Every structure is written in structure tokens, then in C-alpha cells.
Amino acid sequence: AMKRKFRLGQMLATIGVLELCKHKHIDLGPLIDRHVSGDWGDVDDAQREANEEAVKECGTIVSVYHPHGVRVLIVTDGDRSHTVAMLPHEY
């Protein structure tokens, strides 16, 4: 089984992401699985380090994925009450 590194809290998705998923047939499930298991996707080294720190220190965790070439962010807040899938302009 996949090891979860942190709690996701309530899982939310913006209208933008939901529309995109519908039109491009993108399944958010595998992206969320990657996020919660510590595979941050296409983030730079600085964000990767920030995420590793955030897991330990209860900070904001940001993953970036490109399903079908479209940039999608998954963001878990510091208190782990919410995780939101969104498009970059919605962050």
C-alpha cells in the first residue's frame, strides 16, 4: 500500500480544474496519490525542499503536475484541513 506522508483534510477542486478534467478526461486520483505520497511532480529544487520541510513543520505543501501537458497544482494547507486541486492562475 502507498504510504501517506500527511493528512489531506477535505479534498477540493476548483471549477477550473473540474472543467479541465471533464474536457481532457483527466483523473485527479493518481495525482492526489502522488501528492500525498511525497512525489511532488514537476517542482523546482527550492519547492521540493520547502515541501519536505512543510511535511515536518506543518507548512503549505505544493505539488505541480502536467497531465496531458496541462499544469495542475495540488496544494495542502499548513493545518491539513484542506487540499485543493487548482490551475496556476487560481493559486
Q: 38: which 3 cell numbers?
A: 511525497
| Confidence (pTM) | 0.94
**pLDDT band at residue 3 using 50, 70 and 90 as cut-offs:** confident
- Distance (Å, rounded) from C-alpha 15 to C-alpha 74? 14
- Which parts of 39-82 fold into alpha helices (H)? 45-57
Whole-number pLDDT of residue 1: 59
Give the tens place of pLDDT for each residue, 16-48: 999 999 999 999 999 999 999 999 999 999 999
Q: What single DSSP character describes residue 41?
A: B
pLDDT > 90? residue 64: yes
Asked whether the predicted pLDDT for residue 87 surpasses 90, the reply is: yes
**Residue 37 has what pLDDT?**
97
Q: Indicate the residue type of 40.
A: W
